[in-house]
Structure 1
Amino acid sequence: MSEATLSYVTEELVKSALVSDKGSQATLLSWSPESFTSKFDGHTSAISNIRVKYSLAGQGGEVSYVVKMNPKRGAQNDDFFGVIHTKECKFYSEIIPALNTVLKGIDQRPLSFPKCIYYNLEKGKEMIFLENLREQGYKMQDKALGIDAAHAVLVLKELARLHAASLLLQASCPHQDLADRFDSLKKEWTREFNLGCDFGTFVEGYLNIGIDMFEKIGGCDRLVHWIKKIKPQVWQMYEMQLTKRPPFAVITHGDCWINNLLFRYDDGDVPVDVKFLDLQGCRKASLATDLQHFLNLNVTGPARRPNLNTFLASYHAAFTSIMQAGGSDTPFTLEELRQEYKDKGFYGVLYSIMWLPNMVRRPEDARDILDSQEESKNSERENVLRMVETNPLLKPRLLSVTDEWTEYGVIS
């Protein structure tokens, strides 16, 4: 985190967070920041760990908060970052409490998100204080290596709980759509996108890199032809994937990838819990968009392909469990879920072509994927083409996705 960005974390804000967390009798003694993420872990937030020392009832204490902030204050695209940070703050302050109220009413545990301690929505200074899950033993997996079946099942069950809770919440107010109740859901980040171009142009740039990449990989003529064919209408095709259609329209995470997941393990190093992070892309859309994003980008081919039916069955069972606890039937069968997942295959393929090279690249090859300068675009293309020859993870991760969706007929 830069010193300029950090200057917006004032002592008054830290005091407000402490009081919100520990009560009005807590006295701030000192606080200090410490950046704990790689610059390549995320691109839409400046993130810092704030260590706070305090006194309460005559006793000293210490606590750690994670602070996420708008990283582009005063920049030309500040409005975009303001929108997505406001979406996240409102998800924590409005949507999660409403969903957890529904779950509490049917004797279910809360959703798996970090506790929101405090947030600020002052324009240009948007920030949110969260509990530091790393101090509770939660860890991030290596995005280059992806995750295995055990991790995947945990994530899918928690996504099912989020999605099902939103359907129960909708059922509790049938005459008001959740997107009208929570206005943050109406702000679709891809339509607010203004990082030097619109989102459709941004995607086309990555498809151009994809064409060069697959040509260099070789043996991908059908795939290259398909990318060239869909490129002129990619924005319209993407928008169609976001169409809200019952019974699959739910509140979705919107960006369920490995850096937005933290896992906790037992003594045998078996994953036993997962927490979701980063709600800047939340939206109301088909639940299959979350499944596509998660399974194609994060679960390696050897884990995903032979276990896909098991994964979808685990999701459906967890979804059904919440619906039944709420006195409702699951509005779709497992077979209908499988079909909806396949119908949203374009969503998973598109994100995989765009982001998998960034996920498997080595630190020395990394760059800021949101930099729209022409020189950086050329650098990205050169890096990706070099990775085809030097990075053994790139080709199998990509082809496991594109081969699968060629078989399903999405790539044709």
Structure 2
Amino acid sequence: MAASKIPDWVTAEIFEDVLKATVNGYSKVKNFKADIGSAAGENYATIMLRVKIEVELQDGKSKSVSYMVKLPHQLEIFQEMMKRNNIFDIERTMYNEVVPELEAIYKAVGVDITFGAKSYDLKNAKTDYVALEDLGLKGFKNANRLEGLDQTHTERVLRKLSQWHAASAVRVATKGPYSDMLLHGFFKEESKPMMTEMMKGMGANFVKSCATYEGHELYLDKVKALQPVAVDKIFELAKLEPTEFNVLNHGDSWSNNIMFQYDAFGKIKEVYLVDYQLPKYGTVAQDLLYFLLSSTKLEDKLAKFDYYIKFYHDNLVEHLKILKYSKPIPSLRDIHLALFKFGYFGYTVATGVMSAVLLDPTDTASLENFLGDSEAGVDFQMQLYNSPRYRKHIQVVLPWLLNRGALEL
């Protein structure tokens, strides 16, 4: 999206109220500039703008502030998706209601935990949007998605996820269920035909690529057999099982949706989760498989998998106790059983988001190509499934999934 494509309604005026509320001694705007805020392949679902504003204060001094604004793609396929699932409505609800509520649950027991960026309302916005503080100003950044997270980073993320999961479980135990929007997430019956359409092309391109992976003889037939039922299977798993330990999953917990803040010595000070567009209430297996398979470094991905689950469980138990959770606390074995039972989620991660995480930066990385069946789309998908880095990961992850029974019909 070139600078010229930045919508003309994104002006200083719409930030007036935010500036008055957040900048001490605000007088007026001296300079306003909006730029594209993320490179191709770093963010698929939305368009990110970074808005930089130079403000004049009442005492005549200047101050620079900046915000991040997410906007919808104007693609037809995206507009179609938005009719069924308005990810902007969902994310604004998350920032305005859900996140503050979970933070307040901790505050009530005297624990200070922040989960993410502050969000703002813009006046007279002409399309859906999400406006956020620019975490870059506080020194937050993403880790290197291509290398994958090491143990220190992974443990900090698992701790944060456990705090989030614990608070959401307590919220439901004390206040009752979440709204339908969060119960079904992306898995609404009316989304099924479109999802089937989207997965068909990607599935076929994965099967083609799969036949060239080292050791594919072991699992190729199972992968082929999964194709016609792939969407049914995921909808089956997405149904709420009341007997499971259920939480509000972040739903899109890959490395680019996690921001790290470091101290002067490079030690991690704080971790925030961003991109609350795909939350889904259900088994913890969803977030755990999504994060650990998509975003950890190759050497640790499987070798430390069980250790990471225990680390997560220790932290989950600690926070459920801090928050005086009234229902039975899941055992470590319960969490492992859920990971086996919902193992197919792992397959969808390995053949979906993991391929995007591991792809070298390229200008062809776009939502259109990720989901499309044009020539450019097919080329891009073949690139996803055949990059040397992805091949290294998938060639160990698929046998692991096979051995855990995750590819069984």
Asked if TM exceeds 0.5, the reply is: yes
Pairing of 1:112-131 with structure 2 (within 5 A)? 112-119=115-122, 125-131=127-133
Contact 2:166 2:320 in 1 (8 A): yes
The AA in structure 2 aligned to 1:147 is L
Contact 2:145 2:357 in 1 (8 A): yes
Structure 2 SS opposite 1:335? helix
Structure 2 SS opposite 1:160? helix
Match of 2:203 in 1: 207
The AA in structure 1 aligned to 2:332 is L
Alignment partners' CA distance in 2, 1:215 and 1:316:
37
Contact 1:253 1:290 in 2 (8 A): yes
Contact 1:17 1:129 in 2 (8 A): no
Contact 1:243 1:286 in 2 (8 A): no
Q: Which runs of 5+ in 1 are unaligned?
A: none
**89 and 66 in structure 1: CA distance in 2 versus 1, 3 angstrom threshold:** same
Structure 2 SS opposite 1:189? coil
Pairing of 1:272-311 with structure 2 (within 5 A)? 272-311=269-308
Alignment partners' CA distance in 2, 1:260 and 1:334:
26
The AA in structure 1 aligned to 2:178 is L
> 1:79: Cα distance to partner?
4.9
Match of 2:228 in 1: 232
> 1:14: Cα distance to partner?
1.6
**360 and 31 in structure 1: CA distance in 2 versus 1, 3 angstrom threshold:** same
Contact 1:8 1:125 in 2 (8 A): no
Q: Which runs of 5+ in 2 are unaligned?
A: none
The AA in structure 2 aligned to 1:19 is K
Pairing of 1:185-200 with structure 2 (within 5 A)? 185-186=182-183, 188-191=185-188, 198-200=194-196
> 1:384: Cα distance to partner?
4.7
> 1:152: Cα distance to partner?
0.8
- Are positions 1:341 and 2:339 aligned together? yes
Normalising by the residue count of structure 1, what TM-score does the alignment of the two structures yield? 0.88
The AA in structure 2 aligned to 1:45 is T
Contact 1:357 1:394 in 2 (8 A): yes
Contact 2:94 2:276 in 1 (8 A): yes
Contact 2:103 2:115 in 1 (8 A): no
Alignment partners' CA distance in 1, 2:275 and 2:190:
17
Cα RMSD between the aligned structures? 2.6
Q: Deviations over 1:235-280 (max 9, x none)?
A: 1110122122244221111100111111122334333422111011
Q: Deviations over 1:59-89 (max 9, x none)?
A: 432211111111227x464253470111111
| 2:240 aligns with one of 236, 241, 244 | 244
Match of 1:51 in 2: 52
Match of 1:148 in 2: 150
Match of 2:351 in 1: 353
**25 and 363 in structure 1: CA distance in 2 versus 1, 3 angstrom threshold:** closer
> 1:366: Cα distance to partner?
4.1
**212 and 193 in structure 1: CA distance in 2 versus 1, 3 angstrom threshold:** farther
Q: Deviations over 1:203-228 (max 9, x none)?
A: 23222111111211242123211111
Match of 2:380 in 1: 380
Contact 2:19 2:26 in 1 (8 A): no
Match of 2:168 in 1: 166
Q: Which moved more, 1:327-336 or 1:281-290?
A: 327-336
| 1:362 aligns with one of 360, 363, 366 | 360
Alignment partners' CA distance in 1, 2:103 and 2:50:
26
The AA in structure 2 aligned to 1:312 is I
Structure 2 SS opposite 1:62? strand
Contact 1:120 1:127 in 2 (8 A): no
Pairing of 1:11-26 with structure 2 (within 5 A)? 11-22=12-23, 26=27
Q: Which moved more, 1:306-315 or 1:84-93?
A: 306-315
The AA in structure 1 aligned to 2:267 is V
> 1:333: Cα distance to partner?
0.5
- Are positions 1:315 and 2:334 aligned together? no
**218 and 25 in structure 1: CA distance in 2 versus 1, 3 angstrom threshold:** closer
Alignment partners' CA distance in 1, 2:381 and 2:53:
43
Pairing of 1:127-138 with structure 2 (within 5 A)? 127-138=129-140
Contact 1:210 1:354 in 2 (8 A): no
**120 and 171 in structure 1: CA distance in 2 versus 1, 3 angstrom threshold:** farther
Structure 1 SS opposite 2:69? strand
The AA in structure 2 aligned to 1:98 is E
Alignment partners' CA distance in 2, 1:308 and 1:113:
26
> 1:92: Cα distance to partner?
0.3
**46 and 192 in structure 1: CA distance in 2 versus 1, 3 angstrom threshold:** farther
Q: Deviations over 1:354-392 (max 9, x none)?
A: 23333322334843243324323432354357x3xxx43
Match of 1:102 in 2: 105
Normalising by the residue count of structure 2, what TM-score does the alignment of the two structures yield? 0.89
Q: Which moved more, 1:316-325 or 1:358-367?
A: 358-367
Contact 1:91 1:184 in 2 (8 A): no
**407 and 121 in structure 1: CA distance in 2 versus 1, 3 angstrom threshold:** farther
Alignment partners' CA distance in 2, 1:369 and 1:78:
12
| 2:67 aligns with one of 65, 68, 71 | 65
- Are positions 1:41 and 2:37 aligned together? no
The AA in structure 2 aligned to 1:89 is R
- Are positions 1:220 and 2:216 aligned together? yes
User: Identity of paired residues, percent?
Assistant: 18
Contact 1:102 1:165 in 2 (8 A): yes
- Are positions 1:31 and 2:67 aligned together? no
Alignment partners' CA distance in 2, 1:120 and 1:400:
50
Contact 1:45 1:71 in 2 (8 A): yes
**54 and 367 in structure 1: CA distance in 2 versus 1, 3 angstrom threshold:** closer
> 1:297: Cα distance to partner?
0.9
What is the total number of aligned residue pairs between the two structures?
400
Q: Which moved more, 1:375-384 or 1:351-360?
A: 375-384
The AA in structure 2 aligned to 1:29 is K
The AA in structure 2 aligned to 1:16 is D
Structure 2 SS opposite 1:363? coil
